[in-house]
Amino acid sequence: MEQAFLKYLAQQKQTLPTETLGIGDDAAVLSWPAETKLVVCTDLISDETDFHLADVTPQQIGRKALAINISDIAAMACQPVGALLTLLLPKGDVSLPLAQGIYEGAAQLGEQFGCPIIGGDTNTWPGKVAVSVTVFGRCPAEKPLLRKGAQPGDAIFVTGQLGGSILGHHIDFTPRVHEALQLRQICGLSAGMDLSDGLSIDLPRLCEQSRVGAEIESRPLPVSPAAIQMAAGTGKTPQWHALNDGEDFELLFTVPAGEVERLEREWSGPVPITRIGTILADPGVWLVNEKGSREPLQPEGFSHQ
């Protein structure tokens, strides 16, 4: 299978930056501007944990595997420049078309974000599909945006809409690279991350790294139509789903109070941004519900533990 897949890869065309060497040699080569920081992330997805092979196409698997890593690069307000794709596939005749489809889905998304597939590996085993991706990113500013850096009084924002991702968004979302870079041009972001496990889990992580607390409001949460649909079947509120459903892959970021007005005035992207709360000096993450009552935000999002 491996040799047939390598022959297939040799026939594929990707747009590579000047002086970049991709698939076909013993290692890939990337040119790197002096004094520019390298940002690297990796993640693995597998059948029956992150997707169900019976319900998705190989192309969707490859797209998601790359997208979750590009989302991590976007969370640091950086630009992806190349990716390694490693496949572990079931033995048998299915392995080659699976490999080809997964590569195709990843390569199409990579082309969209200037992040070509420049290498990787493949193997078969008597088990289920697993896909590992490593993405290399370049920081266009002095330093990447970190979870550490939020200050008391900073405004808390999110991009897009939240909740209900299991109804489809988790498999076909668009990483917020363009939005992160535009945000950084407009204002001085103080901290940020992407929402992978749900706002109720991820916001406390940002606060812990920044050694601050936070208060958010239920009323302005940008609830997705999918969250409303989920609520109709679960008996929970749409706001609960917006707070707790995982794999939104939207940006969670903080902005100094003095720059909020400029951000809201100058933001022109097609993806909306919404102010949902404020960073506090004292530890603890609080939720002001629709009745105006203040209560601790319970971390009920998705946990890998």
43 is in an annotated binding site: yes
196 is in an annotated binding site: yes
302 is in an annotated binding site: yes
In angstroms, the Cα distances linking 212 to 156, 245, 281 are 12, 24, 5
245 is in an annotated binding site: no
With beta carbons less than 8 A apart as the criterion, state whether 129 and 242 touch: no
120 is in an annotated binding site: yes
138 is in an annotated binding site: no
Among 150, 153, 161, 151, residue whose Cα is nearest residue 274: 161
Which residue type sits at 264?
E
147 is in an annotated binding site: yes
Size (the chain), residues:
305
Using DSSP's 3-state secondary structure scheme, residue 95 falls into helix
121 is in an annotated binding site: yes
163 is in an annotated binding site: no
197 is in an annotated binding site: yes
247 is in an annotated binding site: yes
157 is in an annotated binding site: no
Strands of the sheet with 285-288, listed across from one edge: 191-194, 251-255, 155-159, 273-280, 213-217, 285-288, 294-296
Q: Are strands 213-217 and 155-159 parallel, antiparallel or unpaired?
A: unpaired
Q: Write out the binding residues.
A: 26, 42-43, 50, 72, 103, 120-121, 147, 194, 196-197, 247, 302
Where is the binding site for Mg(2+), in residues?
A: 26, 42-43, 72, 121, 194, 197
Q: Which residues are annotated as a binding site for ATP?
A: 103, 120-121, 147, 196
Q: Which amino acids are annotated as binding site for substrate, given as ranges? A: 50, 247, 302
